């Protein structure tokens, strides 16, 4: 039998962590302490079913699924949405235990962090997060962490600009969000041609060249004649849309060569943010693709970082860098120990402008933040 | 203190009747000395074995804990309820009843969905359009999660379903389901279809041993006895006995029959007078009989087998290997 896992290393936040929170508080981030017991639904919905096996779940007598919070981003976001300040600019900091089953580290561990909502000054807010993240590592004696950054919005802008079928665009965005490096997967990236497609091949080919509105009406009518109405949340219109998309896709099962070449070139761009921006401008110009809005924001952010006194040359940007969560929409970053004494990131975060809508907000609210792994930082000293 | 050797078996449902018939054929008659409603029983001529009559799900729980030695239950439940299957139990043998597939089924109206790759795309499109994830109703949350994960599907939510899972899409509580299906009739009645590569598990009743149970000499000896009877019966059901005697019956003919029909000669090759006893898979009996007569046999006698006891005990060997 395996030995019982170590569940927790820390009874309570130590003085050093409290001092970090006090510093965040002085910087204008109001301290919040959401409940440890949280409804499980938002975590499963936003982080995916895969997180379920790492969560500590329970059920109340009414059958509602509850969990020990696996992170604080979602609880703080829900706290904000339920508060009178919802929709207005408001920033929070937090410190407390989170619970995630982990193989080689305790499952109860401390996270500190910041979440900032509703700020219209996107680039400045992004830069402030990275700067505060570096302050957190410095607070624990690590002044010069390894800084890795990415920008999900650049890849989204690229995919939007490519001349690709909607199915391809969905696939690329999804894979970028769930893989650490998409570049290696482009080879294997195929869209299946199912057997049934060849059954319908003649019909699909005929529809492919026809007037889209007429084709859509025909498929919708055929489904109605068959007595099929909405079953299970997908409307007849949605089914018809995708059926016709498949027709347009035809027999093409792998990524078109020209698009693939562009994606590979794009994902190869890396370096410090200034170098990368120059490369990206050149790439966009050569490819005849408009990445202006995303690049303007990128450069503006770099400007704010420089203004905060960060050495831009020490920031390692990569177009392929993502954080493996589909709620990030823009800037993402991780801070690591250059001596690799800690397992995994010390600080990590980014921009998640879509999250509050998915948590029920009627309108989009900008959001950016990061989390700090307290025990990993505290252990650096012992291991040095 | 001596603890009894416990076999846990399903007390009701589709598995129960088949299981009792299976044990009876193997010469293991399950009896309930204190009446049919009792959930503790024994085996007629094997004292020292206790039979626990439980729900198929409880059988799995007790196997996982090692609270019973052997159990009969569906492979679907074993794989769903025990995350580290190989650590906890040994699947000794599939018993040939209780067949059912655990499969992914979607509304028939989804004419654009045939494969898991289609479902992956639809799941992402659904999230983008509706700002929520597609719901999968199932009581097989673990099997679903690992199967969807191997297909790279991330945009979905599991809705735990206690019963009547196939009604969930029509009721609007889920978009699709993962459920057990035998003939597909229930799915069709609910306007659902199974996705082509969406069969997660072809399940049937299994004889399962608990690794965490006490397995000293005495328990191993008891298991050996039980498995010997089951193996003798399993082997008997897998073959028909074919007997004949004619002058031209020789080793060359035997080799030919082995190669063509997979027959075995349990009592050795033909005697000097050309007498031969063969065990032949049922589906090849007629072809074998034809061949033997072509070669000169006057009569070929075919009979069902009751038991075939062998010195080798393949089921026990599998248990030993699994416990190691």
Secondary structure string (H, E, C) spanning B203-240: ECEEEEEECCCCCCHHHHHHHHHHHHHHHHHHHHHHCE
Q: Does the beta carbon of B146 lie under 8 angstroms from any beta carbon of chain A?
A: no
What is the reported pLDDT for A242? 84
Residue whose structure tokens are 């992914």? B104
H and E: helices and strands count for chain B: 12, 15
CA separation for the pair A16, A378 (Å, rounded): 9
Picking from B118, B173, B180, B109, the residue whose alpha carbon sits closest to that of residue B144 is: B180
Contact residues for A256 (Cβ-Cβ < 8 A; gap 6+): A164
DSSP lists the bridge partners of residue A97 as: A110
Contact B153, B120 (CB under 8 A): yes
Yes or no, beta carbons of B169 and A232 under 8 Å apart: yes
Picking from A289, A293, A281, A282, the residue whose alpha carbon sits closest to that of residue A258 is: A289
Per 3-state DSSP, chain A is made up of helix, strand and coil in percentages (nearest 5) of 45, 15, 35
Instruction: Please give the structure tokens belonging to residue B191.
Output: 């306007």
Contact residues for A140 (Cβ-Cβ < 8 A; gap 6+): A16, A377, A378, A380, A381
CA separation for the pair A223, A240 (Å, rounded): 8
What is the reported pLDDT for A252? 63
Q: Does the beta carbon of B134 lie under 8 angstroms from any beta carbon of chain A?
A: yes
CA separation for the pair B170, B192 (Å, rounded): 10
Q: State the Cα angle at B118 between B115 and B124, rounded to 5°.
A: 145
Report the gap between the CA of A255 and the closest CA in chain B (Å): 15
Which residue ranges in chain A fall short of pLDDT 70?
Answer: 1-13, 179-210, 227-232, 250-253, 382-384
What is the reported pLDDT for A57? 92
**pLDDT tens by residue, B104-154:** 999 988 888 988 988 998 998 998 888 888 999 999 999 999 999 888 888
Contact A324, A349 (CB under 8 A): no
Our CA dihedral for A159, A164, A165, A171, rounded to 10 degrees, sits at -40
Within 280-319 of B, beta carbons closer than 8 Å to A belong to: none
Yes or no, beta carbons of A357 and B128 under 8 Å apart: no
> In whole angstroms, what separates CA B191 from the centre of its chain?
29
**pLDDT tens by residue, B7-36:** 999 998 778 999 999 999 999 999 887 776
Residue ranges with strand state E in chain A: 30-31, 37-39, 57-59, 65-68, 90-99, 108-117, 146-151, 270-271, 315-318, 331-336, 347-351, 367-373
**pLDDT tens by residue, B216-260:** 999 999 999 999 999 999 899 899 999 999 988 888 999 999 999
A308-317, A361-370, B162-171, B279-288: segment of lowest average pLDDT: B162-171
CA separation for the pair B22, B37 (Å, rounded): 20
Instruction: Band the pLDDT of B3: cuts 50, 70, 90.
Output: confident
Of A49, A195, A233, the CB nearest to B114: A195
Yes or no, beta carbons of B134 and A167 under 8 Å apart: no
Contact A129, A301 (CB under 8 A): no
Q: Does the beta carbon of B189 lie under 8 angstroms from any beta carbon of chain A?
A: no
pTM assigned to the model: 0.79
Report the gap between the CA of B179 and the closest CA in chain A (Å): 16
Instruction: Please give the structure tokens belonging to residue A232.
Output: 């299970």
What is the reported pLDDT for A116? 97
Picking from A105, A128, A101, A42, the residue whose alpha carbon sits closest to that of residue A77 is: A42
Yes or no, beta carbons of A228 and B108 under 8 Å apart: yes
**CA distance to A11, A105, A305, A340, B84, per residue, from A101 (Å):** 18, 9, 35, 22, 16
Report the gap between the CA of A377 and the closest CA in chain B (Å): 32
User: Parallel, antiparallel, or unpaired for β B5-10 and B46-54?
Assistant: parallel
CA separation for the pair A265, A288 (Å, rounded): 14
Of B117, B157, B172, the CB nearest to A44: B157
Instruction: Please give the structure tokens belonging to residue B30.
Output: 């399950």
What is the reported pLDDT for B64? 95
Strands of the A30-31 sheet, one edge to the other: A30-31, A90-99, A108-117, A367-373, A347-351, A331-336, A146-151, A315-318, A270-271
Pick the residue of A43, A46, A47, A49 with the most B CBs within 10 A to test the interface with B by mutation.
A49
CA separation for the pair A77, B101 (Å, rounded): 42
Contact B306, B319 (CB under 8 A): no
- Helix runs in B100-200, H state only: 116-130, 141-150, 168-171, 185-189
What is the reported pLDDT for A251? 60
CA separation for the pair B103, A289 (Å, rounded): 44
Is B1 or B123 the better-scoring residue by pLDDT? B123
Yes or no, beta carbons of A45 and B157 under 8 Å apart: yes
Yes or no, beta carbons of B175 and A232 under 8 Å apart: yes
Report the gap between the CA of A293 and the closest CA in chain B (Å): 22
Closest residue on chain A to B128 (Cα):
A170
**CA distance to B29, B261, B296, B307, per residue, from B270 (Å):** 37, 17, 14, 22
What is the reported pLDDT for A184? 53
What is the reported pLDDT for A234? 86
Picking from A134, A254, A246, the residue whose alpha carbon sits closest to that of residue A185 is: A254
């Amino acid at each position: 039998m395996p030995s019982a896992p170590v569940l927790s290393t820390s009874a309570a936040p130590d003085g050093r962590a409290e001092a970090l929170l006090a510093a965040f508080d002085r910087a204008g981030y109001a301290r919040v302490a959401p409940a440890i017991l949280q409804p499980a639904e938002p975590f499963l919905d936003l982080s995916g079913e895969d997180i379920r096996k790492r969560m500590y779940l329970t059920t109340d007598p009414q059958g509602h699924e509850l969990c020990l919070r696996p992170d604080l981003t979602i609880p703080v976001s829900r706290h904000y949405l339920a508060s009178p300040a919802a929709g207005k600019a408001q920033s929070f900091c937090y410190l407390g235990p989170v619970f995630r089953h982990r193989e080689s580290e305790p499952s109860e561990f401390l996270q500190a962090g910041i979440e900032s909502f509703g700020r219209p000054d996107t680039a400045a807010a992004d830069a402030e997060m990275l700067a505060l993240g570096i302050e957190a590592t410095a607070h624990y004696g690590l002044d010069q962490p390894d800084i890795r950054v990415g920008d999900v919005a650049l890849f989204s802008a690229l995919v939007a600009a490519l001349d690709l079928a909607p199915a391809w665009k969905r696939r690329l965005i999804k894979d970028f969000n769930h893989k650490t490096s998409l570049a290696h997967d482009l080879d294997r990236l195929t869209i299946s041609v199912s057997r049934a497609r060849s059954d319908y091949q003649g019909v699909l080919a005929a529809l492919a060249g026809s007037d889209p509105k007429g084709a859509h009406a025909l498929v919708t009518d055929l489904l109605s004649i068959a007595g099929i109405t909405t079953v299970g949340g997908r409307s007849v219109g949605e089914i018809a849309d995708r059926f016709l998309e498949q027709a347009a896709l035809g027999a093409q099962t792998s990524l078109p060569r020209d698009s693939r070449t562009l994606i590979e070139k794009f994902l190869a761009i890396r370096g410090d943010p200034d170098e990368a921006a120059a490369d990206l401008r050149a790439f966009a110009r050569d490819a005849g693709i408009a990445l202006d809005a995303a690049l303007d924001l990128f450069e503006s952010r770099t400007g704010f970082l420089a203004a905060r006194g960060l050495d831009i040359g020490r920031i390692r940007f990569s177009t392929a860098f993502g954080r493996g969560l589909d709620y990030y929409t823009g800037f993402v970053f991780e801070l690591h120990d250059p001596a690799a004494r800690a397992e995994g990131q010390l600080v990590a975060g980014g921009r998640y402008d879509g999250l509050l809508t998915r948590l029920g907000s009627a309108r989009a609210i900008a959001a950016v933040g990061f989390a700090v792994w307290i025990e990993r930082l505290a252990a650096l000293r012992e291991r040095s | 203190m001596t603890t009894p050797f416990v076999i846990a078996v399903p007390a009701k449902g589709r598995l129960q009747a088949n299981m009792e018939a299976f044990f009876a054929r193997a010469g293991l008659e399950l009896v309930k000395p204190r009446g049919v409603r009792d959930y503790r029983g024994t085996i007629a001529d094997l004292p020292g074995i206790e039979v626990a009559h439980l729900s198929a799900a409880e059988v799995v729980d007790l196997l996982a804990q090692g609270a019973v030695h052997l159990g009969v239950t569906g492979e679907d439940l074993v794989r769903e309820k025990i995350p580290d299957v190989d650590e906890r139990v040994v699947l000794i043998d599939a018993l040939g009843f209780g067949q059912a597939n655990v499969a992914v089924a979607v509304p028939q109206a989804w004419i654009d969905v045939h494969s898991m790759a289609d479902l992956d795309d639809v799941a992402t499109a659904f999230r983008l359009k509706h700002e929520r994830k597609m719901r999968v109703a199932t009581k097989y949350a673990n099997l679903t999660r690992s199967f969807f994960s191997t297909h790279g599907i991330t945009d979905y939510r599991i809705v735990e379903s206690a019963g009547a899972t196939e009604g969930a899409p029509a009721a609007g509580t889920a978009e699709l389901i993962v459920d057990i299906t035998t003939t597909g009739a229930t799915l069709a009645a609910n306007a659902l279809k199974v996705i082509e590569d969406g069969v997660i598990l072809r399940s049937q009743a299994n004889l399962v041993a608990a690794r965490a149970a006490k397995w000293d000499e005495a328990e191993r000896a008891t298991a050996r006895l039980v498995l010997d009877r089951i193996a003798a019966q399993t082997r008997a059901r897998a073959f028909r006995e074919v007997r004949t005697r004619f002058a031209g019956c020789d080793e060359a003919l035997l080799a030919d029959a082995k190669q063509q029909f997979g027959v075995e000669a349990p009592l050795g090759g033909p005697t000097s007078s050309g007498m031969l006893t063969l065990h032949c898979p049922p589906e090849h009996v007629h072809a074998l009989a034809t061949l033997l007569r072509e070669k000169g046999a006057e009569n070929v006698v075919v009979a069902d087998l009751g038991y075939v006891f062998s010195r080798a005990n393949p089921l026990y060997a599998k248990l030993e290997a699994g416990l190691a």
